[in-house]
Amino acid sequence: MRTKMLWVFLVVVALGARTEAQFSIPYEQFTLANGLTVILHEDHTVPVIGVNIWYNVGSAREKPGRTGFAHLFEHIMFEGSGHVPEGKFDEWLEAAGGDNNASTSSDRTNYFENIPSNALELPLFLESDRMAYLLDSMSPSKVDGQRDVVKNERRQTYENRPYGMAFLTIDENIFPPDYPYHWPTIGSMEDLTAASYEDVVEFFKKYYTTNNASLVIAGDIDPKRTRALVEKWFADVPAGKPVAPLAPQPVLLTEEKRLILEDKVQLPRLYMAWITPAQLTPGDAELDILSYVLAGGKNSRLYKRLVYDMQIAQDVSAFQESGALCSKFDIIVTARSGHTLKEIEKVVQEEIDKLKREPPTPRELQRAINQIEASFLDRLENIGGKADQINSYYVRAGNPDYFNEDLARYKALGTTDIRAVVRKYIRNDGRVVLSVVPEGKRELAASAEKKEGK
């Protein structure tokens, strides 16, 4: 950990001695005839390569009554393909000294492998095979097996986990029923049960195509040889029909919703959520800064008051959940034993109101920017994180080397910019206030009275 912190410090110092224009990630980009976008980044720091593929499909592509497909495929994709027997995907990568994983969000699904540089061809073969030949090995029994796995994951992650239903409840109440972020990525039990084998096949054919994906290969590579390997394994994968991009959809909450959930928990927890601007749009960076001002470390406003000074809270967090269609700003506070969420909410509201009257101090702003920059550099420390960031920038901004522009969003902000977004988006008349309390202890919840004013 000390070595890691020293590395971040040295990089920050080095960057401070150069102009921002000098900080860039060189890359080579090309597109195969079948529409697959490929981005190569050469970095010989360590003999490791990150292979990272994004499919532009997440739960936002689903429809009410047919949710959970994107996440279900995250599991099915590891169950073998036309030339890879079941169980061999992981086994072969591990034998080569590599590792792999995947994740699904509302906006995308990604699959990635981190491997020694002498084993690059293996993950390219594996990824191309399941892209082209997954249906050759998929069967109703495999779908049923993974359907049960996902159902059990939902039970463990949400239904039988303390506070687990909180975010599902918030999203169901903050977004309209037909809005793509209304339902959870994992889907509902009813929809998972209702999904037929034919539904699953149709979903794969529509979204898991070369022209709906981007492949990043970063690390200890020879670009010429790597391009030849990509063409070898992916050039013959057939393209699918064009997939239209999801356009940002306007959504507005014009009331305050106050909700209470009783759960098998010991301590009450307060959740407050607002709809905010989409990722990389005006307001998104300002709200990232706001999250650090409120809860970014022990000197932040809410931590200092609630946890340190008053000692009425166990923990506090705030964050901007940036999404492609829109975002959500969250504040979460767990009360200490013997204290109620009414006490907690009063202090949180005082700090919000204060920021509406007076902007944060220049010192608070700079501290937040420093924390964001350090976190940004930390993501680039390992080649897998860098590969994923390159893919994210390509998909979100159309520019794999969007690093300078991204950091510049934050460095260009002033304190009054933060006050402006608090006034505009962190409104009393457009939010969800959820109290999660121990069973039978509804008196510990936040006030049932709606807050007046903006």
Triad 197, 200, 203: Cα angle to 5°: 150
Does the predicted TM-score (pTM) go above 0.75?
A: yes
Task: Give tens-digit pLDDT for 101-119.
Answer: 999 999 999 999 999 999 9
Domain segments of the chain: what residues?
Answer: 24-234, 256-359+414-444
What single letter denotes the amino acid at residue 230? V
| pLDDT at residue 21 in the model | 42
Q: Report helix, strand or coil for 328.
A: strand
- Using the structure block, give the residue that is written with the tokens 């990722």: 279
The two tokens of residue 367 are 């501290």
For residue 57, how many other CB atoms are within 10 A of its CB? 25
Instruction: Give the H or E element holding residue 302.
Output: helix 301-302
Exposure on the CB side of residue 185, measured as CA atoms within 13 A: 16
Whether the predicted pLDDT of 85 surpasses 90 = yes
* Cβ(359)–Cβ(418) below 8 Å: yes
What band does 15 get if pLDDT is binned at 50, 70 and 90?
very low
Whether the predicted pLDDT of 20 surpasses 60 = no
Task: Give tens-digit pLDDT for 355-403.
Answer: 999 999 999 999 999 999 999 888 888 999 999 999 999 999 999 999 9
Task: Give tens-digit pLDDT for 58-77.
Answer: 999 998 988 999 999 899 99
Task: Give tens-digit pLDDT for 352-363.
Answer: 999 999 999 999
Task: Give tens-digit pLDDT for 293-352.
Answer: 999 999 999 999 999 999 999 999 999 999 999 999 999 999 999 999 999 999 999 999
Whether the predicted pLDDT of 14 surpasses 90 = no
| pLDDT at residue 195 in the model | 85
Closest by CA position to 50, among listed 395, 385, 306: 385
| pLDDT at residue 160 in the model | 94
End-to-end CA distance of the chain: 44
| pLDDT at residue 312 in the model | 98
Average pLDDT on 5-10 reads: 46
Distant-in-sequence, close-in-space partners of 176: CB < 8 Å, separation ≥ 6: 182, 251
Give CA torsion, residues 242, 248, 250, 253, to 10 deg. Answer: 120
| pLDDT at residue 118 in the model | 97
Task: Round to whole Å and give the CA distance between 345 and 316.
Answer: 12
What secondary structure does DSSP assign to 242-259, as a single string?
--PPPPP------SEEEE
| pLDDT at residue 175 in the model | 97
Task: List the alpha helices (DSSP H) in 96-255.
Answer: 121-137, 140-154, 166-174, 189-194, 197-207, 223-234
CATH fold label, 24-234: Cytochrome Bc1 Complex; Chain A, domain 1 (3.30.830)
What band does 452 get if pLDDT is binned at 50, 70 and 90?
low
Task: Round to whole Å and give the CA distance between 80 and 99.
Answer: 16
| pLDDT at residue 247 in the model | 79
CATH number of 256-359+414-444: 3.30.830.10
What band does 5 get if pLDDT is binned at 50, 70 and 90?
very low
| pLDDT at residue 454 in the model | 73
Query: Among 158-172, 219-233, 440-454, whose mean pLDDT is lowest?
Result: 440-454
What band does 285 get if pLDDT is binned at 50, 70 and 90?
very high
CATH fold match for the domains 24-234 and 256-359+414-444: yes
Whether the predicted pLDDT of 6 surpasses 80 = no
Distant-in-sequence, close-in-space partners of 201: CB < 8 Å, separation ≥ 6: 135, 138
Please tell me which residue, 33 or 381, carries the higher pLDDT value.
33
Whether the predicted pLDDT of 443 surpasses 50 = yes
Average pLDDT on 2-23 reads: 46
Mean pLDDT taken over the chain: 93
What band does 453 get if pLDDT is binned at 50, 70 and 90?
low
| pLDDT at residue 22 in the model | 52
